Structure 1
Amino acid sequence: MITLKSAREIEAMDRAGAVLASIHKGLRELIKPGADMWEVEEYVRRRCKEENVLPLQIGVSGSIMDYPYATCCGLNDEVAHAFPRHYRLKEGDLLKVDMVLSEPLDKSAVDVSKLNFDNVAEMKQYTENYTGGLADSCWAYAVGTVSEEAAKLMAITKEALYLGIEQAVIGNRIGDIGAAIQSYAESHGYGVVRDLVGHGVGPTMHEEPMVPHYGTAGRGLRLREGMVLTIEPMINTGTWEIDTDPETGWAHKTLDGGLSCQYEHQFVITKDGPQILTSQGEERTY
């Protein structure tokens, strides 16, 4: 079922988005050659406890296991849902960090600083039943100086994100979003991942409608004021096809080993156009 969000619900998601954006901005200083990727997970966990927000990815049900971390950390050919781990980031790596957070909560209801994030079953009791404001955003980070190939992929993927958001206006259709992203990315010879898509948000992190990053203009569900969506194109240097880790059922990689990049914003459709709820600053820059 597709729900149009109230002003109260949008304000709650905006509060969540402000915290999430500030965490992404903080990661800019942390992600550099020689840093341990696990520090990304530790930083996000610390900020969650300080801001009293729930890391809503912990405990998400999977085909083999529930997701156990506050972040997804995709390195180079990893497309999405890869685990953070101990790995020394190298000059030229391309790292994507995705997270879903609640709005800041009243400590009388739940004191996040007292929760054990490593106890997935305990965390699931909080995250699975949460129905307040939440925000979802992925960002790509260049580790030191990246190759020309990686820099171009990052620029094209970010532009594709904003081209898709520009199509999210009242009266347009879902297909207009996907068509804008697909035509732009494919014009540069890139593959657009089709197995993973954007989606509605609220009261849980994955709601209808699904928002493919490919499609035909003028087709699909008509967009209405009050819809809150994510657009999160995953763009590959080679094929759009991906493979999934058979041991965990989570991490996806490009089928041909090529680089993959992703940027994601969450936004609400308003009469004045799309309003980004996870903005990190000046749009088309962050």
Structure 2
Amino acid sequence: MIELRTPNEIEQMRPAGRFVAETLTALADAADVGVNLKDLDALAHELIRKRGAESCYIDYHPSFGAMPFGKVLCTSVNDAVLHGLPHDYRLKDGDLVSLDFAASVDGWVADSAVSVIVGAPRDEDARLIGTCERALVAGIAAARSGNRIGDISAAIGAVAHADGYSVNTDFGGHGVGRTMHGDPHVPNDGRAGRGYPLRPGLVIAIEPWFLQTTDRLVTDPDGWTLRSADGSRGAHVEHTIAITDAEPVVLTAR
């Protein structure tokens, strides 16, 4: 069911957006050569505890997950792009890591992701991240009352295709509110003018993610981490936004 939020409810969602944004900034700053993915998850745990927030991930067990996630942060490294389960791995020079974090504050959820390069960047990795970030900006710009979900999808896909990337539409953006994942689904490619009409009060996560040379995914033995089928690297960015009568409000702006 698609729910629309009142202006007062959107204001109540702002603290969750700020907390998620601040936490991702701290995690991105902490991601350095030699840092263990488990340490990044532990930092996210500590920030949740200090804020009195609640994790959206630790007990999360959708149909595609092998078991409850059990961590509070997704850490996807190099050829991993989504749902990366933190494990005993120390980041190396040149690693591309995507950090995806969602939390609930006072009963309202925000969800966001960022991709960073640890140490010396590869040109192709910086280009991939740049494409994801520009696609996110384009998707947000299309998230206006009177448009449709397809306008967001088409804007994201156009940026990807212009840079030579193919797009997987199995996983994408989604509704956000009292829970992390709700309707509507927001694919990262589509046809303008199609899909659910955007109305003031709709709160969604927009999350472009692309792989360098494929659009096919495989699942790790851990039952969660999604990797490129050909070993090429991936990047993922995301913001939670609210549709208004005017410009969209980016609740997780960093």
Partner of 1:87: 89
Q: Does residue 171 in structure 1 map to residue 173 in structure 2?
A: no
Q: Which amino acid aligns with 1:33?
A: V
Q: Tell whether the 8 Å contact from 1:62 to 1:250 is kept in structure 2 after alignment.
A: no
Partner of 2:44: 44
Partner of 2:236: 262
Partner of 1:135: 110
Q: Tell whether the 8 Å contact from 1:10 to 1:133 is kept in structure 2 after alignment.
A: no
Partner of 1:150: 125
C-alpha distance in 2 between matches for 1:53 and 1:8 = 20
Deviation at 1:52, TM superposition (A): 0.7
RMSD of the TM alignment (CA)? 1.2
Partner of 1:4: 4
Find the residue that maps to 2:248 and give its secondary structure: strand
Q: What is the TM-score when the length of structure 2 is the normalising length?
A: 0.96
Equivalent positions of 1:191-270 (< 5 A) are: 191-245=166-220, 247-270=221-244
Find the residue that maps to 2:28 and give its secondary structure: helix
Deviation at 1:82, TM superposition (A): 1.3
C-alpha distance in 2 between matches for 1:170 and 1:266 = 16
C-alpha distance in 2 between matches for 1:28 and 1:68 = 21
Extract structure 1 runs of 4+ deviating beyond 3 A: none
Structure 1 residue runs of 5 or longer lacking an equivalent are: 106-131, 281-286
Q: Which amino acid aligns with 2:90?
A: R
Q: Which amino acid aligns with 2:131?
A: I
C-alpha distance in 2 between matches for 1:153 and 1:240 = 14
Find the residue that maps to 2:55 and give its secondary structure: coil
Deviation at 1:213, TM superposition (A): 0.6
C-alpha distance in 2 between matches for 1:207 and 1:192 = 22
C-alpha distance in 1 between matches for 2:35 and 2:61 = 30
CA offsets 1:12-62 (integer angstroms, 9 cap, x no match) = 221101011111111233111121122110110010111111111111114
C-alpha distance in 2 between matches for 1:268 and 1:94 = 29
Deviation at 1:96, TM superposition (A): 0.6
C-alpha distance in 1 between matches for 2:111 and 2:197 = 23
Q: What is the TM-score when the length of structure 1 is the normalising length?
A: 0.85
Q: Tell whether the 8 Å contact from 2:85 to 2:222 is kept in structure 1 after alignment.
A: no
CA offsets 1:212-261 (integer angstroms, 9 cap, x no match) = 0100111111110100001001111111111123x443111111111110
Q: How many residues align?
A: 252
C-alpha distance in 2 between matches for 1:2 and 1:37 = 35
Find the residue that maps to 1:17 and give its secondary structure: helix
Q: Which amino acid aligns with 1:92?
A: G
Partner of 1:13: 13
Equivalent positions of 1:104-143 (< 5 A) are: 105=106, 132-143=107-118
CA offsets 1:67-121 (integer angstroms, 9 cap, x no match) = 1100010001112111111211111100011111011x5xxxxxxxxxxxxxxxx
Q: Tell whether the 8 Å contact from 1:169 to 1:274 is kept in structure 2 after alignment.
A: yes
Find the residue that maps to 1:24 and give its secondary structure: helix
Q: Tell whether the 8 Å contact from 1:76 to 1:95 is kept in structure 2 after alignment.
A: yes
Find the residue that maps to 1:44 and give its secondary structure: helix
Equivalent positions of 1:23-102 (< 5 A) are: 23-63=23-63, 64-102=66-104
C-alpha distance in 2 between matches for 1:218 and 1:234 = 22
Deviation at 1:211, TM superposition (A): 0.5
C-alpha distance in 2 between matches for 1:164 and 1:34 = 35
Deviation at 1:181, TM superposition (A): 0.9
Q: Tell whether the 8 Å contact from 2:28 to 2:99 is kept in structure 1 after alignment.
A: no
C-alpha distance in 2 between matches for 1:6 and 1:67 = 32
